[in-house]
């Protein structure tokens, strides 16, 4: 097993701090001792500290959903990598399609965040993926290439093991429309080839590429069986302990 599977829950703008605590405690009690799969939960900023305390001492790792590239300063409403690190955050989701679409994040800005995260020893989960219009126009690979090259500009081969990529076709997010295994594997293989060109083939072999977009316990086994699908970035199904735990179990089986 060269790449350990990774199951990450992106809770998006859901759960109060009390609800987040209850959810993460359920997750930790079920899969807190799992070692053969990496598990990440990314709550909203308001519960990062609480969730961090609940996962402490378990194998569930703490993630965040976003950050600002600057270490501090007059950026109202933002948080920095240093602030996240001080709460023992290990991963940060960057360039999610919802941030690109609703908050105007560009590849150049996302790239600044990726570099700042790596400098602060936070593992970026860089999200890429095409819209339905882009897929129908036959532009999927071109869009993914632009986002990947833009997002990873200036990263070194040595940082490769810290980086996680998430392929999330926008049309599959929260829609119940999952990509077919062939559609997903095609793009994942393409991303790995690109990583080989950008960094090195050895580095590309180490980087985990997650699938995201309506991943559920029912469709996860087939997706996770694909050669280049190394885990999942889960939205809706990460909001209940039961389905999230089943996804972790699916990843264990796929190992």
Q: Which residues are designated catalytic?
A: 96, 168
Residues 84-113 contacting ligand 13P, CB under 6 A: 96
Residue 220 found at the interface with ligand 13P (CB under 6 A):
no
Widest pairwise Cα distance in the chain: 48
Q: Which of 38, 105, 134, 168 binds ligand 13P (CB under 6 A)?
A: 168
From 134, 136, 154, select the one nearest 144 (Cα to Cα): 134
How far are the Cα atoms of 14, 58, 70 from residue 40, in angstroms, in the given order?
A: 16, 11, 24
Number of residues that bind ligand 13P (CB under 6 A): 14
Please give the residues from 195 up to 214 whose contact with ligand 13P meets the rule CB under 6 A: 212-214
Count how many Cα atoms sit within 13 Å of the Cα of residue 81 in the half-sphere of its side chain.
Answer: 21
Nearest partner of 108 among 121, 123, 95, judged by Cα: 95
235: contact with ligand 13P by CB under 6 A: yes
Q: Which residue has the tokens 């393409």?
A: 190
Residue 128 sits in the site that holds ligand 13P (CB under 6 A) = no
Q: What's the min distance (Å) between Cβ of 21 and ligand 13P?
A: 21
152 or 234: whose CB is closer to ligand 13P? Answer: 234
* Pairing, β 60-64 against β 164-167: unpaired
76's tokens: 């109202």
User: Nearest residue by C-beta to ligand 13P?
Assistant: 235
State yes or no: residue 236 binds ligand 13P (CB under 6 A). yes
Question: What is the per-residue binding string for ligand 13P in 20-59, x denoting contact by CB under 6 A?
Answer: ----------------------------------------
Residue 10 in the binding site for ligand 13P (CB under 6 A): yes
Kindly compute the dihedral angle of the four CA atoms of residues 179, 221, 14, 177, in this order, to the nearest 10 degrees.
20
If one asks whether residue 71 binds ligand 13P (CB under 6 A), the answer comes out as: no
């Amino acid at each position: 097993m060269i790449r350990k599977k990774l199951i990450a829950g992106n809770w998006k703008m859901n759960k109060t701090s009390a609800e987040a605590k209850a959810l993460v405690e359920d997750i930790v009690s079920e899969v807190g001792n799992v070692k053969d799969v990496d598990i990440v939960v990314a709550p909203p900023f308001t519960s990062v500290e609480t969730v961090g305390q609940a996962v402490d001492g378990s194998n569930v790792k703490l993630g965040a959903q976003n950050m600002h590239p600057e270490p501090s300063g007059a950026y109202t409403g933002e948080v920095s990598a240093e602030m996240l690190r001080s709460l023992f955050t290990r991963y940060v989701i960057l360039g999610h399609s919802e941030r690109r679409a609703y908050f105007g994040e560009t590849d150049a800005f996302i790239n600044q965040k990726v570099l700042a995260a790596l400098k602060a020893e936070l593992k970026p989960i860089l999200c890429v993926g095409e819209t339905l219009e882009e897929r129908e126009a036959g532009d999927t690979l071109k869009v993914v290439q632009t986002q990947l090259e833009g997002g990873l500009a200036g990263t070194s081969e040595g940082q490769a093991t810290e980086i996680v990529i998430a392929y999330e076709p926008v049309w599959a997010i929260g829609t119940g429309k999952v990509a077919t295994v062939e559609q997903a594997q095609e793009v994942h293989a393409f991303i790995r080839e690109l990583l080989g060109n950008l960094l090195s083939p050895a580095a590309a072999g180490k980087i985990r590429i997650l699938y995201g977009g309506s991943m559920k316990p029912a469709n996860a086994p087939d997706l996770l069986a694909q050669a280049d699908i190394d885990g999942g970035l889960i939205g809706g199904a990460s909001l209940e302990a039961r389905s999230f735990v089943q996804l972790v179990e699916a990843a264990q089986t796929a190992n």
